[in-house]
Structure 1
Amino acid sequence: MPLSEQEQRLLDEMERHLMKNDADVVSAPSGDRALSYRNLVYGAVLLLAGVGGLIAGVAVGDVLGIVIGVVAFVAMLAGVMLAVTPIRRSTSTRPESSGTPRSSSGPSFMDRMNDRWDRRSEGR
């Protein structure tokens, strides 16, 4: 069920207020971060190599096996970190919110409504 205009305005106002005043919301991951398929594959390969190294370290035993096991564990940890760390998309593809219309046909309905709401709020 779509929101009414009043509900949409209220939601937009709350969102702007949060973005201005709440540092946690501003620093939260946004749409400009995503997981990379390449990093997922490299991380999985590194994780599997680490598991293999850990098994080899257990099979070797002795002091050399401990060293191999520690190196394999670090490789597994690095593989997981590489796989789950999001990359930052280039900001050059994102349009800037400078208040100028993004297209030559003019601002969208929501942009016009937001501008009207801002002007009305500043008038108080």
Structure 2
Amino acid sequence: MPLSEQEQRLLEEMERSLYHNDADFVASVGVSRLRPNYRSIAVGVLLAVLGIVALIAGVALQLLWLGIVGFVVMFTGVLLALSPGKSMKGMKGMPSSGSSGRGPAQGRTDQGFMNRLNERWDRRQDGQ
């Protein structure tokens, strides 16, 4: 079912507001393509397997310290395997949104729902 004209205008207004107020967020979500780091995944899986083996050995031999060490090694391996990869494009060239992009919409007396939420978020971030 196609959108009505009012819904299309509202959607376009929300998109403009998002691009205007949250340029950093749009740039980071739209451009960030992560390449998996296969070396860290392989090392993480290996550490997780070794940790599980040490954990099971600690339980079987009733050695508490070996079970704890195995759990820590397993947990570290999982964190290493799930760590984010390298970004294909650097974020240094991305434009940053300054304070000029934030604030009430000019020329409008009734603000939209998203504008009110954005203002509340900005005030919360500024500590007001």
Q: Structure 1 length normalisation: TM-score?
A: 0.50
* Residue 50 of structure 1: aligned partner: 51
Which consecutive unaligned segments of at least 5 residues does structure 1 have?
1-6, 99-121
The residue type equivalent to 2:14 in the other structure is M
Q: CA RMSD in A?
A: 4.1
The residue type equivalent to 2:58 in the other structure is G
- Do 2:33 and 2:89's aligned partners in 1 also have CA atoms closer than 8 Å? no
Which consecutive unaligned segments of at least 5 residues does structure 2 have?
1-7, 97-105, 109-128
* Residue 39 of structure 2: aligned partner: 38
Identity %: 37
The residue type equivalent to 1:87 in the other structure is G
Seen in structure 2, the aligned counterparts of structure 1 residues 95 and 76 have a Cα distance that, compared at 3 Å, is same
**Superposed CA offset, 1:63-111 (max 9, x none):** xx1000001001111111111121342654875459xxxxxxxxxxxxx
> What is the distance in 1 between the residues matched to 2:13 and 2:38?
36
Matched pairs, number? 92
SS of the residue 2:74 aligns to: helix
- Do 1:42 and 1:82's aligned partners in 2 also have CA atoms closer than 8 Å? yes
* Residue 79 of structure 1: aligned partner: 77
* Residue 18 of structure 2: aligned partner: 18
